[in-house]
C-alpha cells in the first residue's frame, strides 16, 4: 500500500528533515519518526536530520545520534519541515526551506499559513506526529518509528490530557504500543523526570510566580544569570508554563526566558478559554489555541510592560475578567 510519503519519495535520492527552533517532544518525535521510516523503507536514500539542541532524555530516538546542528549549504531533492509553523520557526537554519527542489511541511499549528511548496496542516490534530502517522503506511511502521510517533503524541497531549486528544489520537497511540515499545519508560523519562538543575530552576520559577487579573493569569520568568547558575539551557525550560497552569483558578500562564542579548521569548499556555495563539500572533509569534509563544525584542526584565496589556485584552475578550 502506497502512502503520501511513499509517493513523494518515489524516484528521489536525497532528503532532509528538520523541525522548529528549540525542539520539543513532538518536534523530535515527528522528525525522528519520518527519519526512521525513510531509513527502513529506503535504505539507499541519503537522508539528513537537522536538529537544534534538545533534552538528553530524547537521545533514545533513532536519528538523534547522527543529527546535524548546522547547515553548510547541502542540496536535496526534498526537504521535510515538521512541527514548524512559520519560516522564522525553522530550526538550525531558515535556508533549509530552500535547500531542496521541493519543500514539504507537516504541521498542526493553527497559525501556519502554509509556507512550503506543499503543506499538510491539520489544526485539530493532537500533534505533528499524529499528522505524520496519517501520511505513512501503517503496515510499514517499525518499532523504532512507533517509538518516535508515540513520543511526539504523548508529549504534545501532556500524556493524553489536553483538549486536542481525540479518539483517533488514542487509537494511533494504541497501535504504536502494539509494536512493543517501552511506553512506560518513555513517559517517565521524557515527561515527568527532571534533572537536579531543571528541578531547581522549576522551583525558582514557581516560587516567584505571580497571580494577576483576579488569579486568572500566572506570570513568571527566569534570567540568563539564573540559568547559568543552575546549569540550565533552553531545553531545560520545556514544560515550565504547563507547570504554572496547574495552579487552581489559573486560566492562562505566561513564562518569559532569555534568547539573544536584550531579547527574550515567551511561552504561553491556556486551560480552555483564552486563545494564546491569537495573543501571540499579535506579538509576532503563533502556535496553538491553548499553547503558543512569541519573541520580544526587549530584555526579560522589560517584557512585563509589553505583555500585560495584551494579556489583559485577551482575558477581557474571552470574558474571563470584567
pLDDT at 246: 92
Q: What are the residue ranges spanned by the domains of the chain?
A: 4-192, 197-317
pLDDT at 20: 95
Strand order in 46-50's β-sheet?
46-50, 14-18, 76-82, 100-107, 118-121
pLDDT at 67: 98
pLDDT at 133: 98
pLDDT tens sequence across 74-108: 999 999 999 999 998 999 999 999 999 999 999 99
Of 169, 148, 181, residue with least CA distance to 51: 148
Query: Regarding the domain delimited by 197-317, which CATH topology (the fold level of the hierarchy) does it fall under?
Result: Diaminopimelate Epimerase; Chain A, domain 1 (3.10.310)
Query: Regarding the domain delimited by 4-192, which CATH topology (the fold level of the hierarchy) does it fall under?
Result: inorganic pyrophosphatase (n-terminal core) (3.90.1640)
pLDDT at 1: 58
Higher pLDDT, 71 or 3: 71
Of 282, 224, 292, residue with least CA distance to 253: 292
pLDDT tens sequence across 175-218: 999 999 999 999 999 999 988 888 999 999 999 999 999 999 99
Q: How confident is the model at residue 162 (pLDDT cuts 50, 70, 90)?
A: confident
Whole-structure pTM value: 0.87
Residue 126: other Cβ atoms inside 10 A: 28
Amino acid at each position: 500500500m502506497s502512502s503520501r510519503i511513499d509517493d513523494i519519495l518515489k524516484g528521489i535520492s536525497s532528503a532532509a528533515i528538520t523541525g522548529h527552533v528549540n525542539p520539543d517532544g513532538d518536534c523530535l518525535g515527528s522528525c525522528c519518526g519520518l527519519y526512521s521510516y525513510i531509513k527502513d523503507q529506503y535504505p539507499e536514500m541519503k537522508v539528513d536530520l537537522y536538529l537544534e539542541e534538545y533534552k538528553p532524555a530524547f537521545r533514545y530516538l533513532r536519528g538523534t545520534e547522527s543529527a546535524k546542528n548546522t547547515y553548510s549549504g547541502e542540496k536535496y531533492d526534498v526537504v521535510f519541515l515538521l512541527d514548524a509553523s512559520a519560516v522564522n520557526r525553522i530550526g538550525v537554519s531558515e535556508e533549509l526551506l530552500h535547500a531542496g527542489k521541493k519543500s514539504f511541511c507537516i504541521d498542526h499549528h493553527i497559525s501556519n499559513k502554509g509556507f512550503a511548496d506543499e503543506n499538510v496542516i491539520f489544526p485539530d490534530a493532537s500533534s505533528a506526529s499524529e499528522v505524520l502517522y496519517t501520511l505513512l503506511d501503517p503496515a510499514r511502521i517499525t518499532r523504532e518509528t512507533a517509538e518516535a510517533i508515540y513520543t511526539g503524541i504523548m508529549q504534545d497531549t501532556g500524556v493524553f490530557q489536553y483538549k486536542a486528544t481525540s479518539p483517533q489520537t488514542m487509537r494511533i497511540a494504541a497501535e504504536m504500543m502494539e509494536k512493543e515499545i517501552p511506553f512506560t519508560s518513555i513517559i517517565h523519562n521524557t515527561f515527568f523526570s527532571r534533572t537536579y538543575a531543571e528541578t531547581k530552576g522549576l522551583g525558582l520559577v514557581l516560587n516567584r510566580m505571580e497571580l494577576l487579573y483576579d488569579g486568572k493569569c500566572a506570570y513568571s520568568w527566569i534570567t540568563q544569570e539564573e540559568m547559568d547558575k543552575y546549569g540550565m539551557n533552553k531545553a531545560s525550560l520545556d514544560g515550565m508554563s504547563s507547570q504554572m497552569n496547574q495552579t487552581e483558578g489559573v486560566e492562562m500562564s505566561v513564562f518569559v526566558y532569555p534568547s539573544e542579548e536584550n531579547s527574550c521569548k515567551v511561552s504561553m499556555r491556556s486551560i480552555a478559554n483564552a486563545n494564546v495563539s491569537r495573543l501571540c500572533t499579535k506579538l509576532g509569534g503563533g502556535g496553538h489555541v491553548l499553547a503558543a509563544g512569541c519573541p520580544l525584542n526587549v530584555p526579560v526584565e522589560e517584557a512585563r510592560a509589553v505583555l500585560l496589556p495584551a494579556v489583559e485584552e485577551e482575558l477581557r475578550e474571552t470574558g474571563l475578567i470584567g
